[in-house]
Amino acid sequence: MQEYWELYMKTIDGNIASVLVNAGISADLPSEDKFTVGFIKLAMKAPNDKGLISENEEAQLSFIEDKIEMESLRYRIGSYVGKIVSNGEMTFIYYLKHDFEWPDMVQMAMKEFTDYSYEYGSKMDSEWEIYYKLLFPTPIEWQMIQNHKVCDHMQTQGDSLHLPRAIEHKAYFETSEQRDAFILVIESESFNVKELIDANENTSMIGLSFYRQDKPFYYDIDSLTLHLIDLSVQNGGAYDGWETSVVKIS
């Protein structure tokens, strides 16, 4: 299975959560209906005021995580697919080839961390529900992940992200009527249409590119793109991302 890890934030049971997921395995998941999932839920000793990892404990928790993964590889017990940190707890999630050695593996991995309390277990998981419904980002969460990657890159180029500039977006639709209705909506919000995009040999969808002066700062671009996702869906289409130029502070 491929290794491609993503780290992002979401809300779980009303608490802010940091989620690490191996997104790379999504294309290689077996087609069987049921799997066994193993978990280890560890109570952190010194979480920060949001219930997440504090700087004081980060190194030790990373060491514990590495130890668990080392033992899982030694036991050849399954694949590490994700981690959730929330409400003062850290939960490691594995999909298991078999679970009869899971207790032995966990106890071996945790035997030197006697000052930490933890619980563990395993259960059947129908149709990869824990992976797709708990760990894997939703389309909106994926958009925010990509937003922040672009923002991070722009900052490395010397952009403060606070200066408004033309931000270009794309959206695609099945029919010209849907696209026309979408155009009316975005034009009422001061967007300008740059180009109409025809169907081609790769897709039957038709689209458009459009732009407006906005700030690409993290919270601003998240709010804007989530709004455009909603508008696209309301008109039967799909939002397809944004791009802009770097504006350096002289």
Give all domains of the chain, ordered by start, each with its CATH number: 5-135 (3.30.70.120), 139-244 (3.30.70.970)
Can you give the pLDDT at residue 250?
A: 65
The rounded distance, in Å, linking the Cα atoms of 9 and 146 is 13
pLDDT in tens, 77-114: 989 999 999 999 999 999 998 888 999 999 999 999 99
Residue 239 · residue 143 · CB < 8 Å: yes
For residue 28, pLDDT over 80 is answered with no
pLDDT in tens, 155-178: 999 998 999 999 999 999 999 999
The rounded distance, in Å, linking the Cα atoms of 155 and 202 is 34
The rounded distance, in Å, linking the Cα atoms of 6 and 15 is 20
Q: Which amino acid is at 176?
A: S
Confidence of residue 181 (pLDDT cuts 50, 70, 90): very high
Q: Which amino acid is at 233?
A: V
For residue 248, pLDDT over 90 is answered with no
Confidence of residue 127 (pLDDT cuts 50, 70, 90): confident
Q: Which amino acid is at 182?
A: F
Percent of the chain with pLDDT over 70: 95
For residue 221, pLDDT over 90 is answered with yes
Task: Give the rounded distance of the alpha carbon of 8 from its chain centre.
Answer: 5
pTM of the entire predicted model: 0.81
3-state secondary structure of 116: coil
Can you give the pLDDT at residue 25?
A: 81
